[in-house]
Amino acid sequence: MADTVALYLDGKTAEIDTLIEKLTRQMELLERYRRELIARTVTRGLDPDAPMRDSGIEWIGEIPSAWSEDSLKSILRRVSIKNKPERRVLSVERVNGVVDRETEGSPDNHNRLSDDLSGYLAVDRGQFAMNKMKAWRGSYGVSKLDGIVSPAYYVFDLNHPNPEFFNWAIRSDAYVPFFSRDSYGIRTGQWDFKMSALRSIPFFSPTIDEQDEIVAYLERETEVIDSSIEGINKQIELLGKYRKQVINDVVTGKVRVGEVA
């Protein structure tokens, strides 16, 4: 009887695991497509017939000839304002950018807060915040919130006509490699990004009108993709619960293997 139960559970859980693997793969493909769509759009624009030129960057390739090029040093100006401990604490993450640490922050980033927040750096809505020890993986972004961040971070005033376009672009796979290239250190995962590297990082921008069009396009397209990813993730969660229920029902005798085999 024990062998029969084991065979039944092995078969049922294998079926469920196969479905979960397929759904996980679908979700991974959608996430990759999302990243590729953003990186391509913020460096090539929306006009497939636009004249192109070489960007001079191996992983970016060609960009529209009419796009302007500036260094990040001309776009970002570092600021350091403190003594605002009453503000909410923000977290700067790879996936979500700048978020409220308490309500949206990843548990992985919840290092112990200082008892004295007066030394934390103030961040205003529209400013650019960067976790300099994790910039190599894209932990930075334009803030939509007023708050404070760790004094180990960088905060910048942003000199760009469209902060939303800048945020889509700079957080994409087209620009993260610059920060990986220019971060250094000996401790794994804690490489320091140096301010001096900003002058060597280019930023490409289309006309203001096209920036607006790109932002609207990306918001629309990623909303559809994110909805699909959310739906698949819910299916995976339900299958995981079903798997546990199948095992529990057999082990507790709610389901007799001989009756369902």
Query: By the 8 A CB rule, do 119 and 151 touch?
Result: yes
- How far apart (Å, rounded) are the C-alpha atoms in residues 225 and 28? 12
Identity at 69, one-letter amino acid code:
E
- How far apart (Å, rounded) are the C-alpha atoms in residues 52 and 45? 11
Kindly indicate the confidence band of residue 81, based on its pLDDT and cuts at 50, 70 and 90: very high
The CATH code for residues 68-205 is 3.90.220.20
Average predicted confidence (pLDDT) for the chain: 92
Both tokens assigned to 68: 């302007």
The separation between CA 233 and the C-alpha centre of its own chain, rounded to angstroms, equals 17
Above 80 in pLDDT, residue 201?
A: yes
Question: Domain limits of the chain?
Answer: 1-43+219-259, 68-205
Query: By the 8 A CB rule, do 130 and 177 touch?
Result: no
Give the tens place of pLDDT for each residue, 138-164: 999 999 999 999 998 999 999 999 999
Whole-prediction pTM: 0.89
Closest CA to 195 of 138, 153, 139, 137: 153
CB atoms within 10 A of CB 93: 22
CB atoms within 10 A of CB 151: 14
Per-residue model confidence (pLDDT) at position 47: 97
Give the tens place of pLDDT for each residue, 93-121: 999 999 998 876 555 555 667 778 889 99
- How far apart (Å, rounded) are the C-alpha atoms in residues 234 and 128? 33
Q: Which residues pair with 133 in a beta bridge?
A: none
| Long-range contacts from 188-193, C-beta under 8 angstroms, 24+ separation | 189/134, 190/133, 190/134, 191/133, 191/136, 192/132, 192/133, 193/130, 193/132, 193/133, 193/135, 193/136, 193/154
Above 60 in pLDDT, residue 260?
A: no
